[in-house]
């Protein structure tokens, strides 16, 4: 039995049910790094290349935490998860493409990596090939892998279903993996609905965005995100743009944003972006221009970095909400 570490950053919020179930069902122990803390961030800043963006530094911090506590580190190379985009070449940010190599050269000591290349442009065989590679690394035969993959896909599917019924991703993860009860109903007494769009590893990591969701919920706001929309609704938005973006998570954020600004029944939109994020330099301005052209919806962009404090985010969010409520009163 191996102890397999899964860092709590980047695509964690996107594939955890699948890979955690898969590895657990094969009879191994999955160790997740704890939620981001100052110590993890500092470690990441120390280990990663200095020009990297915050999420990549965070990932290094989480991986460094796990390096001393596991036998194998799950660090897949995400190349693509679907055939999409103008040239059918949708992929991930180059930093995802080089991630295992970056981690390998940055961290010492480091347990062996499970650096499986995930390229699902061939939807039939892509996932099966990836699962086989992981399963074989852990020392299992095809029959076991097949069974574990089936259960894993079921877990991933129920996670997606929960999200699409309106449960926030962190709650849905708890529900699917730990059996916590959740209800997708809006909290009574909350009078505003705000769309929060951005990358999963920025909006669902409460440390790096200084507890944005908590602040919003305390202020009486219902939160919707792009992950609550079905793929069909999201992909429908591709035709609204002159050219699709190249990056999976960016496309999701932009499509979600476009949907909400057109007919989302939301009062405002917040885009959370990470300092020095390459794709976001395009995404943020694109959303800003589109939201102004298509609607009268107020839009707030929050850029977070390693120095972001709770007070700063809270002040900006409160001002934004005051404006929304004031505007509503005026109507």
Partner 1 sequence: MKISFPRMGYSYIAFKWLVENLGHECIVPPEPSNHTLDLGVRYAPEFACIPFKILLGTYIEVAQMGAQAVITSGGMGPCRAGYYWVMHKYLLEEMGLPMQIIAMEMPLLNLGDFWGKINRLRRSGGVSLKELARILKITWEKVKAIDDIEIRSHQVRPLEVKRGDTTRAINEGLAFIDAAQREHEIAEARQEALARLDRVPQDQSRNPLKIGIIGEIYVVLEPAANHYIQLLLGEMGVETDRSIYLSAYARKNTIVNLEGDLFAIARPYLNEAPIGGHGVNSIAETILYARHGFDGVVQLAPFSCIPEIVAKSIIPAVSRDFDIPVQTIFIDEQTGRAGVQTRLEAFVDLLQWRRSRRETVVEKRVLQG
Residues that bind partner 1 (CB under 8 A): 48-49, 51-53, 77, 79, 86-87, 89, 91-95, 97-98, 100-102, 105-106, 115, 117, 241-243, 245-247, 275-282, 284-286, 289
State the nearest-atom distance from the C-beta of 216 to partner 1, in Å.
Answer: 25
- Closest CB to partner 1 among residues 32, 115: 115
Name beta bridge partners: 119.
Answer: 80
Who's near 315: CB < 8 A, 6+ residues apart?
none
State the nearest-atom distance from the C-beta of 118 to partner 1, in Å.
Answer: 11
State the nearest-atom distance from the C-beta of 9 to partner 1, in Å.
Answer: 16
d(CA 287, CA 273): 12
- Closest CB to partner 1 among residues 27, 94: 94
- Closest CB to partner 1 among residues 10, 223: 10
- Closest CB to partner 1 among residues 95, 259: 95
Structural tokens at position 66:
């796990």
State the nearest-atom distance from the C-beta of 157 to partner 1, in Å.
Answer: 28
The b-or-e profile of 32-54 (16+ CB within 10 A means b, else e) is bbeebeeebbebbbebbeeebbb
- Closest CB to partner 1 among residues 106, 266: 106
- Closest CB to partner 1 among residues 50, 232: 50
d(CA 220, CA 88): 41
Q: CA geometry: angle at 265 spanning 262 and 267, to 5°?
A: 100
State the nearest-atom distance from the C-beta of 278 to partner 1, in Å.
Answer: 4
Who's near 152: CB < 8 A, 6+ residues apart?
17, 18, 19, 21, 22, 25, 131
3-state SS class at 272: strand
Q: What is the DSSP letter of 118?
A: E
- Structural contact between residues 115 and 77, judged by C-beta atoms closer than 8 angstroms: yes
Who's near 278: CB < 8 A, 6+ residues apart?
53, 93, 94
- Closest CB to partner 1 among residues 219, 280: 280
The b-or-e profile of 313-326 (16+ CB within 10 A means b, else e) is bbebbeebbeebee
State the nearest-atom distance from the C-beta of 114 to partner 1, in Å.
Answer: 14
Structural tokens at position 91:
């992929």
3-state SS class at 303: strand
State the nearest-atom distance from the C-beta of 326 to partner 1, in Å.
Answer: 27
> How many CB atoms lie under 10 A from the CB of residue 304?
24
State the nearest-atom distance from the C-beta of 72 to partner 1, in Å.
Answer: 17
- Closest CB to partner 1 among residues 159, 249: 249
State the nearest-atom distance from the C-beta of 117 to partner 1, in Å.
Answer: 7
- Closest CB to partner 1 among residues 105, 186: 105
């Amino acid at each position: 039995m191996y102890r397999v570490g899964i860092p709590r950053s980047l695509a964690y919020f996107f594939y955890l049910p699948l890979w955690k179930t898969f590895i657990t069902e094969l009879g191994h122990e999955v160790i997740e790094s704890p939620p981001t803390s100052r110590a993890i961030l500092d470690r990441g800043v120390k280990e990663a290349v200095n020009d990297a963006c915050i999420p990549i530094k965070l990932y290094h911090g989480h991986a460094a935490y796990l390096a001393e506590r596991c036998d194998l580190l799950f660090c897949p190379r995400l190349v693509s998860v679907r055939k999409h985009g103008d040239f059918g070449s949708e992929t991930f940010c180059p930093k995802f493409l080089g991630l295992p190599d970056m981690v390998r050269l940055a961290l010492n000591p480091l347990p062996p990596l499970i650096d499986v290349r995930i390229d699902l442009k061939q939807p039939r065989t892509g996932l099966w090939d990836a699962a086989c590679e992981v399963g074989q690394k852990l020392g299992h035969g095809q029959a076991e892998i097949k069974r574990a993959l089936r259960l894993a896909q079921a877990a991933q599917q129920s996670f997606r279903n929960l999200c699409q019924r309106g449960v926030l991703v962190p709650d849905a993860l708890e529900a699917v993996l730990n059996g916590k009860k959740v209800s997708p109903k809006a909290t009574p007494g909350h009078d505003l609905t705000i769309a929060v769009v951005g990358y999963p590893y920025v909006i669902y990591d409460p440390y790096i965005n200084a507890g944005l969701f908590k602040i919003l919920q305390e202020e009486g706001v219902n939160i919707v995100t792009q992950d609550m929309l079905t793929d069909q609704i999201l992909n429908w938005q591709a035709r609204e743009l002159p050219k699709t973006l190249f990056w999976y998570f960016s496309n999701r954020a932009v499509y979600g944003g476009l949907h909400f600004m057109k007919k989302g029944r939301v009062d405002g939109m917040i885009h959370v972006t990470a300092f020095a994020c390459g794709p976001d330099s395009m995404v943020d301005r694109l959303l800003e221009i589109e939201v102004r052209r298509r609607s009268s919806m107020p839009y707030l962009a929050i850029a977070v970095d390693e120095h972001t404090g709770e007070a700063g985010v809270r002040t900006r969010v409160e001002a934004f909400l005051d404006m929304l409520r004031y505007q509503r009163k005026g109507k």
